[in-house]
Amino acid sequence: MIASDSSRQRSAQNGSERAEHLAGLIMALARREGMKAGDRLIEQRLADALDLSRAPIRLGLKALEAAGLARGEPHRGFVLAKNPTSGAAQPALAAIRRNEQVYATIAGDVLASRLPADVTEAELMRRYGLSRAELQRLLDRIAAEGWIARLPGYGWRFAETVSSPEAQAQAKAFRAVIEPAAILQPGFALPQEVIVRLRERQQRVFDGELEKMTIGEIFHSGCEFHEEIIRGAGNPFFLEALRRVNSIRRLFAYRSFADRDGMRRHVREHLRLLDVLETRRYAEAADLMARHLQRPLVAGVS
C-alpha cells in the first residue's frame, strides 16, 4: 500500500497542517487533564506542558477557534468551547491520527513481516511516498523508540524486538521483572501529590470515561500510570527501560482488540495498588504489581 504524497498536499493547503496538528495536541492534552468547556487555555501553561514556546501554541489555538472548539477574546486569551470528550472535538484529534498514519502503516508492515529487516531510505521513500525530510523525521522518531537502528553503511535495520511473534509475551516478562523490583528499591517513594493525581485520573477513567476513550488513549493512560510509579524508585534507568518497552507495546496495541470489562478490572487494580502504595507497604505493593502484570489486559492478537 502506498500513501499519497503528503508534501505536495501541504503546500497546496492554506489551512496549515502544522496548525491543525498543534490544535490536536492541545485538545489531547485538555482531554488528558480532564478539562471542561469554559476552562481557560493559558498559553504559557500549554507551552510548558508540550515543551514548546508560545508561538506555536498560538497557532494551535487559532486553529481551534476556527474549528469552533475554542473561543478567544482580545487580551483575554482563549477558553475551551466544547468538552474535549464530546463528539465535536473528534475532528481536531483526528488531525493527529492522520499524521500518524504512515507511522502506523510502517509499524503494521514490520509486525506482519511485510518489510525485510534491512531497508534503505530510498526504498522506504518510494514505498510510502515520503520526501527525504519527512522520512528522516520518522526514522529519527522510530530510532528513538528503539525499533530501528542505522547500519554503519547504507540503510537501517529493524530490531528483532518488533518483528518477533513472541514480542508481546517477552515485553510482559520483562515488565514483570523490573516493575516490582523498582518498588522494592531502597528509597522508593511516591509523593502524596502524585498519588492523588494518579488516583484522580484513574478514578475518572473508571467512572465512565473509559467508554469514550480510544484504544490509543486507554493505552497511553495505562503507560503513564505505570511510568509514574516506576519513577518513584528514583532511578531513571528503570523509567527509561519501561518507556522503551511501552513504546514498542504501543505498536501491538494497534492490532489488539479491546475488552472493556477486562479494562475496568485493570483500572480497579490500579486504584487498589495506589491504596497500598499510599500506606507505604512496598513489599505488598510489589507483590500486587507482579500479579497485576501477570493478568492480560488485552486478549487476542490478530
Partner DNA sequence: GATTGTTCTTTTATGCAACAATATACAATC
Partner DNA sequence: GATTGTATATTGTTGCATAAAAGAACAATC
Nearest to 159 by CA among 142, 180, 177, 175: 142
Rounded Cα distance between 296 and 277, Å, is: 22
Q: Does 155 bind DNA (CB under 7 A)?
A: yes
Query: Which option in DNA, a copy of itself, none does residue 42 bind, with CB closer than 5 to 8 A by kind?
Result: DNA
Give the binding range for DNA (CB under 7 A) out of 51-59, 100-108, 212-220, 265-273. 51-59
Query: Is the CB of residue 81 less than 8 Å from the CB of residue 37?
Result: yes
Contacts (CB under 7 A) with DNA, residues 260-289: none
117 makes contact with a copy of itself (CB under 8 A): no
Give the binding-site size for DNA (rule: CB under 7 A). Answer: 41
Binding to a copy of itself (CB under 8 A): which residues in 138-157? 140, 143-144, 146, 149-153
Name the amino acid, one letter, at 11: S
Give 163-170 contacts, CB < 8 A, sequence gap 24+: 163/110, 163/111, 163/113, 163/117, 167/248, 167/252, 168/249, 168/252, 168/301
Q: Tell me how many degrees the CA angle 33-37-38 measures, rounded to the nearest 5.
A: 105
Candidates 12, 14, 133, 193: give the one binding DNA (CB under 7 A). 133
C-beta closer to DNA: residue 42 or 94: 42
- For residue 104, the minimal CB distance to DNA (Å) is 19
206 close to 225: Cβ distance less than 8 angstroms: no
Angle at 164 between CA 158 and CA 165, to 5 degrees: 145
Residue 254's identity, in one-letter code, is Y
Q: Which does 160 bind (CB under 5 to 8 A by kind): a copy of itself, DNA, none?
A: a copy of itself
Q: Which is nearer to a copy of itself, 38 or 236 (CB)?
A: 236
* Binding flag, residue 79, a copy of itself (CB under 8 A): no
- The partner in contact with residue 174, picked from DNA, a copy of itself, none with C-beta cut-offs of 5 to 8 angstroms by kind, is a copy of itself
Taking CB under 7 A as the criterion, the residue among 2, 14, 153, 261 binding DNA is 153
Q: Determine the Cα–Cα distance for residues 60 and 51; give it in Å rounded to an integer.
A: 14
Q: Which is nearer to a copy of itself, 32 or 264 (CB)?
A: 32
Taking residue 193's Cβ as centre, other Cβ atoms within 10 Å add up to 8
Cα four-point dihedral sign 141, 146, 150, 156:
negative
Per CB under 7 A, 123 contacts DNA: yes
- Position of cell 475488552? 259
- Report the residue number, 5 or 240, with the smaller CB distance to a copy of itself: 240
> What residue ranges in 199-298 does DSSP mark as E strands?
256-257
Q: Residue 214, interface with DNA (CB under 7 A)? A: no
* List of residues contacting a copy of itself (CB under 8 A): 50-53, 56, 140, 143-144, 146, 149-153, 159-161, 164, 167, 170-171, 173-174, 177-178, 181-182, 185, 235-238, 240-241, 244-245
